[in-house]
Structures are given as C-alpha cells and as structure tokens.
Amino acid sequence: MGVVNVTPDSFSDGGRWFEPEAAIAHGIRLLDEGADVLDIGGESTRPGAQRVPLEEELRRVIPVIRELAAGDAVVSVDTMRAEVADAALAAGAALVNDVSGGMADPSMAGLVAEAGVPYIVVHWRAPSAEMESRAVYADVVAEVRAELQARLEALAEVGVRPEQVALDPGLGFAKNSPHNWALLAGLDALHGLGRPLVLGASRKRFLGALLAGPDGEPAPVEDRDFATSAISAFAAGAGVWCVRVHEVRPSADAVRVVEAIGACRQGAAEPEAPGGAP
C-alpha cells in the first residue's frame, strides 16, 4: 500500500504532494514501483496534529481519488469521517482505512456495513492531539489484541461483516518505541483474531530512534526507508497481509525476496522475473 499524503503537515513528506496534480503524479509513480493499493489521505494523524475541517478534507482528497481510480488504481481512502469515506467511495475508492477503527465517527460503521467494502480497522485510543498521553499499557500485545477484538464485536453489531475487516495494531498511535517493538514481536497473538493484518511502520519515530546517530539525534525521516523495507520483509515472513509505506520499491523488492524463499521452501520452482528473464 503506497501512501499519498495530500496534506501540508504530514510528518514524513508534508506539503510535497499537497496540490492535486502532484499527488496524482506521485500515486502513478508508486503504482509503477509496485504498489497494489494507493492510500489517499487529507488529514495528518501525526502526534499532536489538529483536525482539519470536513470541507477542506474533501477538497484535498476527492479530486485525487477520482483521477487515480479512473486510471484503474485500487484506491483506499484514509479518513476518520463517514462523510469523506462516502464521497470517496462514490469517486471510485475501493477500501476505507480508518485510523480510529470507527471510534471517531459513530456513522462510519453503518456506512461501511451498507457499502460492503473492505475496512481497515486501526487500534486507536484518542485523537492525535491526545494520543501520547494514552500510551500506557501493562501488556501492550494483550491489550491491543483485546481492544481490537472489542472493535470487531462492536462493528459486527451494526452489520459490518468480519470478512470485510483487516486489522492494524496502530504502530505509533498511543504507543511509544518499546510498545511498537513488542507489537511486532507479538504478531502471532494478533493473527489469533482471525483477520488479515496491516502494518504501518513506514518512517515512524521508533525507527528514527533505532537509527540515531552518535549524538543521539534520531535519523531524519528520509533516512528511514531501508529500515522500513526491513520491517516489510519481516512482515511478509510473518504472514502480514499488507504493509503501508511511503517509498514502495524497496518494500516491494523485499516482499518479492521473501516470496521467492517461501516458494522454494514449499518445493516450487524459483519465480521468474517479469518478462521471463532469469
């Protein structure tokens, strides 16, 4: 899943794809690099970010979604608002990616149930402006699993079928670095929920902290893509359904390597390169 942030304040690339033409061109580049899905968002969810007005979120994302979907891209809308999701689906989006898991807008679950589209439910405890204070856990893996289970049950009560749902543990959302690493190490417990898993580790602060220089300063966001592709390889080996990344090619290559090794383990022939090249 390639990320297209149509925002001026995203932590990773704020402003680079803010104009519709730039966002569309970026989406096409990510497709060319191997993205299966484009995730279009018009509201930053970085720690401390403030909400944008509904009309502004619509203005940012709908033209981009319409153009990319018209070119046969599989498009996901990254939004916490049912009205934005509804307009995005009408413009050609095929999935809804809700970082609040339906908690920010009580209307979202009903919309998704009626539309019958795939719905990515992210573990969430509070809006971006408050989430860092909610990063308190006795056992982060067990608690995230229990809270995602509760969301599945709540969504089912309003008609969202379990087979519509993919689950995301929400790395960085009300989690600090140790919490994020523990969740990656505990993916088996999340697989126990029986739904496909999505991971969004790309360029996040816990990778910057891991890659800090001798002075202790975190690695800048543009220097975190190699670490992101390592997470993508790990995720593929761990049976994760999808990774959400800012730079697609390194992660797509990493996933292909894991796929090739897995095929050989199962006794299949080594996969051919595109065009039949060895």
Q: pLDDT-derived band of residue 90, with 50, 70 and 90 as boundaries?
A: very high
Tell me if 159 is assigned to some domain: no
CB atoms within 10 A of CB 32: 10
Global confidence as pTM: 0.91
Q: pLDDT-derived band of residue 272, with 50, 70 and 90 as boundaries?
A: low
pLDDT of residue 80: 96
Tell me if 268 is assigned to some domain: no
Tell me if 235 is assigned to some domain: no
Tell me if 247 is assigned to some domain: no
Tell me if 194 is assigned to some domain: no
Q: What is the pLDDT of residues 148-166, one digit of tens each?
A: 999 999 999 999 999 999 9
Q: What is the pLDDT of residues 95-117, one digit of tens each?
A: 999 999 999 999 999 999 999 99
Q: What is the pLDDT of residues 27-70, one digit of tens each?
A: 999 999 999 999 999 998 777 777 889 999 999 999 999 999 99
CB atoms within 10 A of CB 118: 18
Q: Is 204 a catalytic residue?
A: yes
Beta pairing partners, 121: 98, 167
Q: Which residues contact 8 (CB under 8 A, 6 or more apart)?
A: 14, 15, 18
State the Cα–Cα distance between residues 208 and 74, nearest whole angstrom.
30
Tell me if 246 is assigned to some domain: no
Tell me if 29 is assigned to some domain: yes
Domain holding 77, by residue range, is: 1-98
Q: Is 81 a catalytic residue?
A: no
Say which CATH number the domain at 9 has.
3.20.20.20
Q: Which of 151, 175, 204, 205 is catalytic?
A: 204
State the Cα–Cα distance between residues 153 and 247, nearest whole angstrom.
34
**What is the count of structural domains for the chain?**
1
Tell me if 134 is assigned to some domain: no
pLDDT of residue 49: 75
State the Cα–Cα distance between residues 189 and 142, nearest whole angstrom.
8
Percent over 70 (pLDDT), the chain: 92
CB atoms within 10 A of CB 273: 9
pLDDT of residue 278: 36
